[in-house]
Amino acid sequence: MSTQLHRFSSSSFEYGTPARWVEAVRQVMGGIDLDPASSATFNNLIGAARFMNKEFNALRPEVEWTGRVFLNPPFTRSGLHQRFITRLIDQYRRGLVTQSMLLVNAETGSTWFKPLWAYPMCFAYARIAFDLIMDGQRVTQASPTHNNVLVYLPPQAERDGFVMPIRGVTEYLVHFETVCGELGEIVAPPVWEWRD
């Protein structure tokens, strides 16, 4: 079942995240408040409280992303995914996004990927076969071409003018590891304490 817009394309199809990945996102975050790269069709399945489609343009400077955000950015040759990722990290660091899960291609050597190493990740055991909507019909991608990773930006709160992980963040990270460990290999930067 398709659940999330994966990429905007000038061709006649869109990509959607498979249900098991979206369910893991929901389990880890407890729900999805915003999906900034979606459509009405996909949001009927993902169930985000709010979604933004390409006509709305979630990257406009005046648009704030808030709450629990699931982002599967549109990958384009022009680098649109980089703009979505940069915006997500900015909104998270500013404390508008309280937690997030980001599903991207595991292009670990790319410049745009470098900031993501600061967060816990789940590298998919197998390439994700995204669902496609081609000319109005849903089909599953036959031969996925990229490895994928789910990046977790855990809950945080503002204290003394700084946005930082909330007390008890270890419990969230262990929950992330438990839920997503079935889907892929968990990698966390040394700065995150997994257990007390």
Residue 193 domain-assigned?
Answer: no
Q: What is the pLDDT averaged over residues 128-154? A: 81
82: tokens are: 């980089």
CATH number of residue 181's parent domain: 3.40.50
For residue 194, is it within any domain? no
Give a yes or no: residue 195 inside a domain: no
Residue 19 belongs to a domain = yes
User: How does pLDDT run across 24-56, given as a tens digit for each residue?
Assistant: 999 999 999 999 988 887 787 788 999 998 889
- Percent of all residues in the chain with a pLDDT value above 70, rounded to a whole number: 83
Q: Is residue 95 part of a domain?
A: yes
Whole-number Å distance between alpha carbons of 109 and 78: 18
Range of the domain at 107: 2-187
Q: Is residue 26 part of a domain?
A: yes
Considering only residues 101 and 146, tell me which one the structure prediction assigns the higher pLDDT.
101
Considering the chain, what is the average pLDDT of its residues? Answer: 82
pTM score, two decimals? 0.83
Give the pLDDT score at 6.
Answer: 39
Domains identified in the chain, total number: 1
pLDDT in tens, 152-185: 999 875 555 555 555 556 788 888 999 999 999 9
Residue at 33 is within a domain: yes
| Domain contains 163 | yes
Does the structure show a pLDDT above 70 at 3?
Answer: no
- The beta-strand segments (E) located in the chain are 2-5, 13-18, 34-35, 50-51, 67-71, 97-105, 121-124, 131-134, 137-140, 148-153, 156-159, 162-165, 184-187
